[in-house]
Amino acid sequence: MFNLLKSWLKNSLMAILLVTIFLGISTAAWTPSSSAALPAGNAITDGRSLLRYALPINNEPVRQLQASLEDISNQLRANRRWSAISKDLSKASRSLDQSSKILASVPEERQPQAEAWIKELQSGVNNLQELVKVKDKEKIQAERNKLLNIVNLLEESMVKEFPFEVPQDYSNLPQLKGRATVDIKTNKGNLTVVVDGYSAPVTAGNFVDLVQRGFYNGLEFTRSEESYFLQTGDPPGKDVGFIDPKTGKYRAIPLEILVQGDKAPTYGITLEDAGRYLDMPVLPFSSFGAVVMARPETQVNGASSQFFFFLFEPELTPAGRNLLDGRYAVFGYLTEGKEVLDILKAGDKIESATVVQGIENLVQPEAA
């Protein structure tokens, strides 16, 4: 059984990726524009941005502020369109002028810190406006990144409670009721990932629990396909996943996908099988370094410890045009170490993985 499962885990992902390339590239050629299953506008390819948008908050001014600052990077890449950047900054300034509406979403005890962040953002936007006048691209990008980090803190301060109840069926599994940051030290350098329990509490909780146990320390990357994926998490021996020492059984993790607009994730079924072809996950495959649970193709609830980094290649797997969204569970994104992930191959090794932030959000199952 274990050998068969191991074979599935090794081969099914490649088969899906090959189909993804074929159908992904051809989508625009055969899909009528009126029913094309593509997201509106340009897909977001930055993991940090996707994590910001995935936060369970509903505050229009702060989202407008974020969008304006995010867009600056797009304009810098588009031949430094300075007038468009100036418009983005004007929009950001108008959003910050609505400080009372921003603070309305922040719990009272956090509002003093939020007010300080808003003042810092106002000053930073003014600085950016001056930098635009002298057209200093590098300083603009650096200041923009700094301000978005503050926006992230401001948005996180708006989250009052975990937004939904995980089904009782999964109460026997660890759950991450928030976010956690994990540093992964490899023989080629270090990676930092942020895993999102707001969107995938069971999947992220399983991963953080295994990191805490030291499960990934010393494991090799077992599968590597350039521009597609890099996989690890297969322990030595016949086992292909985590065997819980308390039960002696394989810990199986359900497929868990939160769709944009839904209040809670869908469990145990792909979006395709659910007939939700046009729906997009909150955590999509559109970013280099998406962190994804591997599973046997025919067993949606067969995941355990193996995961992969998706190596997004826009020319081969266009954002919003692949079949992986809704088929596998993304549960986080690479936030540091792109240059390291670029050079890692099968045979390289995880020397250690450590939870450096958010361990307090890990909820262990209650003893039976």
Tell me what the mean pLDDT of segment 13-42 comes to.
Answer: 38
Q: What does each C-alpha distance from 361 to 34, 201, 281, 284 come to in angstroms? A: 43, 10, 23, 23
Tell me what the mean pLDDT of segment 41-67 comes to.
Answer: 92
| Contact call for residues 193 and 184 (beta carbons, < 8 A) | yes
Where does the pLDDT of residue 5 fall: very low under 50, low under 70, confident under 90, or very high at 90 and above? very low
Question: Within 13 Å of residue 85, how many CA atoms lie on the same side as its CB?
Answer: 26
- Distance separating alpha carbons of residues 309 and 307, to the nearest angstrom: 7
Question: Within 13 Å of residue 330, how many CA atoms lie on the same side as its CB?
Answer: 29
Of the two residues 334 and 136, the one the predictor is more confident about is 334
pLDDT at 22: 38
pLDDT at 321: 60
Where does the pLDDT of residue 291 fall: very low under 50, low under 70, confident under 90, or very high at 90 and above? very high
- Distance separating alpha carbons of residues 10 and 231, to the nearest angstrom: 9
pLDDT at 367 over 70: no
Where does the pLDDT of residue 297 fall: very low under 50, low under 70, confident under 90, or very high at 90 and above? confident
pLDDT at 21: 40
pLDDT at 35 over 50: no
**Positive or negative CA dihedral for 136, 141, 144, 145?**
negative
Interval 60-86: pLDDT, tens? 999 999 999 999 998 988 766 899 999
Of the two residues 333 and 43, the one the predictor is more confident about is 333
Q: What is the dihedral of CA 133, 135, 136, 142, to 10 degrees?
A: 80
In Å, the largest CA–CA distance within the chain is 65
User: Reduced to 3 states, what is the DSSP secondary structure of residue 238?
Assistant: coil
Tell me what the mean pLDDT of segment 347-358 comes to.
Answer: 98
Interval 8-25: pLDDT, tens? 445 555 555 544 443 333
| Residue 344: CB atoms within 10 Å | 22
pLDDT at 317: 62
Tell me what the mean pLDDT of segment 263-282 comes to.
Answer: 94
Tell me what the mean pLDDT of segment 285-308 comes to.
Answer: 95
DSSP 94-112: HHHTTHHHHHTTS-GGGHH
Where does the pLDDT of residue 226 fall: very low under 50, low under 70, confident under 90, or very high at 90 and above? confident
pLDDT at 40 over 90: no
| Contact call for residues 56 and 161 (beta carbons, < 8 A) | no
Tell me what the mean pLDDT of segment 195-204 comes to.
Answer: 98
Tell me what the mean pLDDT of segment 155-170 comes to.
Answer: 97
Provide the β-strand partners of residue 185.
190, 352
User: Reduced to 3 states, what is the DSSP secondary structure of residue 56?
Assistant: coil
Q: What does each C-alpha distance from 321 to 36, 37, 271, 300, 353 come to in angstroms? A: 9, 7, 14, 21, 32
Q: Express as a percent the part of the chain with pLDDT over 70.
A: 85
Please, what is the average pLDDT of the chain?
88
- Distance separating alpha carbons of residues 265 and 151, to the nearest angstrom: 26
Interval 127-139: pLDDT, tens? 999 999 999 999 9
Tell me what the mean pLDDT of segment 330-352 comes to.
Answer: 97
Of the two residues 191 and 42, the one the predictor is more confident about is 191
- As to burial, measured by CB atoms within 10 angstroms (0-12 exposed, 13-18 middle, 19+ buried), residue 335 is middle
Tell me what the mean pLDDT of segment 103-132 comes to.
Answer: 97
